A and B are shown apart, each in its own frame.
Chain A
Amino acid sequence: DAKTTQPNSMESNEEEPVHLPCNHSTISGTDYIHWYRQLPSQGPEYVIHGLTSNVNNRMASLAIAEDRKSSTLILHRATLRDAAVYYCILSDNTGGFKTIFGAGTRLFVKA
């Protein structure tokens, strides 16, 4: 299963943009890149996903490198509520859609 690598933690100031990186050098051509986040004492929730092109939604933007070996989740204006663990995962579309979660990046947001 293709794996991802993320920094253990990052810190941001409130109201500033945050760029959360993810490396996935062994990604296969059919793997989708998904981002989830986990707020304290809750289950993970979907943030955004993409295949090749950059994606935007109301929560965030996803920038995918041209070779697809890395991606960046962009929170345009961090709020205190965005403090969470962010997981970058690859969706195995070849059967079972097994998803392997790494340790994620813990984002700290300072007021």
Chain B
Amino acid sequence: NAGVTQTPKFRILKIGQSMTLQCTQDMNHNYMYWYRQDPGMGLKLIYYSVGAGITDKGEVPNGYNVSRSTTEDFPLRLELAAPSQTSVYFCASRTGVSTDTQYFGPGTRLTVL
């Protein structure tokens, strides 16, 4: 299994541009999550999904959108990039059983100038 994969690894955006961060998992996990991590800080939950077609907001959803059309994919959309969105973005997945754990992707480092 490849686990959780994220693309791209790095990206530089100009203010106002849009982009989609891709996340794919091959473990047939129902639950998927997007986090952001600012320098020297912990992870903040942006959005999460409990299955295809179902998404919900986390702690810091403003400025982002998500969709979940398949079990495998959970893309994160930035519509109008702002410098405050400069961060490292991590995608994660889990089965949804209470004792299971999250598996994280390698992250996407985004800079907005």
Contact = CB atoms under 8 A, between A and B. Distances in A.
Interface stretch (B38-46, B65-73, B76-84): B38-46
A78 to B, nearest CB: 22
B102 A46 contact: yes
> Does more than half of chain A's interface fall in helix, strand or loop, or is it mixed?
loop
Interface in A74-94: 85, 87, 91, 93
Interface of A: 30, 32, 34, 36, 42-46, 49, 85, 87, 91, 93, 95-104
Contacts of B105: 43
A47 to B, nearest CB: 9
Given A49-B99, A96-B31, A44 B90 contact: yes
Contacts of A96: 31, 48, 50, 56
A100 B94 CA distance: 15
B61 interface: no
Nearest to B35: A101
Q: Which of A44, A93, A104 has the most CB of B within 10 A?
A: A44
Contacts of A34: 101
Contacts of B50: 95-96
A23 B107 CA distance: 28
